[in-house]
Structure 1
Amino acid sequence: MLKIGHRGAKGHAAENTLASFQKAIDLGVDMIELDIQLSLDKVPMVIHDETIDRTTSNVGSVKDYSAKELQKLGIPTLRDVFNLIQNRCDINVEIKTFSATQSILDLMSKNIFDKNKILISSFDWNALQEVRFHDNDIRIGVLTETDLDLALAFAKFIKAYSIHPYYHLLTAENVQKIKEKHFKIFPWTINEPEDITFVTSLNVDGIITDFPERL
């Protein structure tokens, strides 16, 4: 079962920062998960929210700041993370805004990071369709917090690699159904020991957590 660090090691360091990703590596993760928004100058930035209010000392929309301005506030570019990780683990890149899709694909085409170690996921299934349209080989993860059957149908349609459900949706039956269709299952975000025990008992393929050392 893969150990997947949510926004790095969010339980130990500020989320989606280089320090958090380094901490996740130190804790022995197989994969880190991160979020992408787009800067004013169309650079993929690693931040969850559309605004910088919650995670920096400034306020405003990510898309109103240049990449350099955002970096000064501690928000790394996706390229910064590729350079830090150096293929030491896989990276789950979650597209938070459709407009970032092409910039992510462009960066991946520069071969800074092994494409086979990248998994692209999104709640925006149009973004995932765009990724598949441009590249037949990129691993795709279908995110859902509501409807597993719909996610499974879409995963088949798009030839996805994995399904990333909110863990409360999982039962022994639907996990079995997903496995029979040969998709990996990476549920999120599981932090409490009793929840980790329950989800592990379902034989999922990996767990996305703020505390990788608990797995």
Structure 2
Amino acid sequence: MPLLKIGHRGAKAHAPENTLASFQKALDLGVDGIELDVHVCATGELVVIHDFTVDRTTNGSGEVHKMTLAELKALKVEGEHAISTLDDVMEVVGKKCMVNIEMKGRHTAGPVSVFLKEYVKERGYTYEDFIVSSFQREELQVMSEINPDVHLGILTQASVTQAWQWAQEFRAAAIHPHFSLLTESNVHKAQQAGYKVYTWTMNEPEDIARIKLYNVDGIISDYPERL
């Protein structure tokens, strides 16, 4: 299988992260997939933002889960961009590439499952068009229980072994280790066990070249054109 080129929060090096402009830029650069982060806001919508607060990326302040969609939409990202819902992003991305939804906020598994069921049952998508990843054990566990059709990815910054154990426990499709954890041996072992290996966040050409030699399944980068 060819290496999947996955844009991190769109094309984070080229446009403000997790904005529609960033996802469009990733598509323009020819990605095979995009990665994004979701939280549930106070009115129940899935919003695409990385942090638990809006302070770093917008002109506002506050916790994402305590703000309504209208309040979030009124904010500006780098002066001109809006916070998007997951539906907004899908209008831009459509079926042009795979979408890696990271469950960042708490209690996101239920709404993400509802979202995916709608897209699969009513909009002609398949579960293969998405992968749902998280560092959070609770969200992964809930998703594996309520919707076993979802392709889960186990994120880890600490241990490939731990990711593997969780992957077995939650019947995941992939592990998503930080690239510093990878060796040719542990990549091969994970693939032999049936897991895809998608690694993050790789931006330096020498790191990309080294990890490519390990035959990982996908690389997540702020600079997808370097992949």
TM interval, shorter chain, is over 0.9
Matched, 1:211 2:219: no
Aligned equivalent of 1:86: 94
The 5-angstrom pairing of residues 14-53 of structure 1 reads: 14-53=16-55
The alignment's TM-score, normalised by the length of structure 2, stands at 0.91
Out of 55, 77, 82, the position equivalent to 2:85 is 77
The 5-angstrom pairing of residues 164-183 of structure 1 reads: 164-183=176-195
The alignment's TM-score, normalised by the length of structure 1, stands at 0.96
**3-state DSSP of counterpart to 2:209:** helix
**3-state DSSP of counterpart to 1:15:** coil
**How many residues are aligned here?**
215
Aligned equivalent of 1:101: 109
Q: d(CA) in 2 for partners of 1:100 and 1:64? A: 14
Name the aligned partner's letter for residue 55 of structure 1.
T
Indicate if the aligned counterparts of 1:82 and 1:113 stay in contact, CA closer than 8 A.
no
Matched, 1:7 2:19: no
Q: d(CA) in 1 for partners of 2:116 and 2:70? A: 20
Name the aligned partner's letter for residue 163 of structure 1.
I
Deviations 1:94-113 (A, max 9, x none): 00123122111122222247
Q: d(CA) in 2 for partners of 1:163 and 1:138? A: 14
Deviations 1:58-108 (A, max 9, x none): 111112221122123211001111122111111000001231221111222
Q: d(CA) in 1 for partners of 2:205 and 2:47? A: 32
The 5-angstrom pairing of residues 53-72 of structure 1 reads: 53-72=55-74
**3-state DSSP of counterpart to 1:186:** strand
Aligned equivalent of 2:213: 201
Q: d(CA) in 1 for partners of 2:172 and 2:32? A: 20
Name the aligned partner's letter for residue 154 of structure 2.
V
Gap change, CA 1:94 and 1:49, over 3 Å in 2? same
Name the aligned partner's letter for residue 140 of structure 1.
L
- Is there any run of 5+ residues in structure 1 with no aligned partner, and where? none
Q: d(CA) in 2 for partners of 1:148 and 1:50? A: 26
Aligned equivalent of 1:123: 135
- Structure 1 vs Structure 2: percent identity of aligned residues? 44
Q: d(CA) in 1 for partners of 2:17 and 2:104? A: 15
Q: Which runs of 4+ in 1 moved over 3 A?
A: none
- Is there any run of 5+ residues in structure 2 with no aligned partner, and where? 76-81
Q: d(CA) in 1 for partners of 2:124 and 2:74? A: 24
Q: d(CA) in 1 for partners of 2:188 and 2:39? A: 34
Instruction: Let me know the Cα RMSD of the aligned residues.
Output: 1.2
Q: d(CA) in 2 for partners of 1:48 and 1:70? A: 13
**3-state DSSP of counterpart to 2:36:** strand
Deviations 1:21-57 (A, max 9, x none): 0100111101100001111111111000010011111
Decide which moves more: 1-10 or 156-165: 156-165
Aligned equivalent of 1:142: 154
Name the aligned partner's letter for residue 31 of structure 2.
V
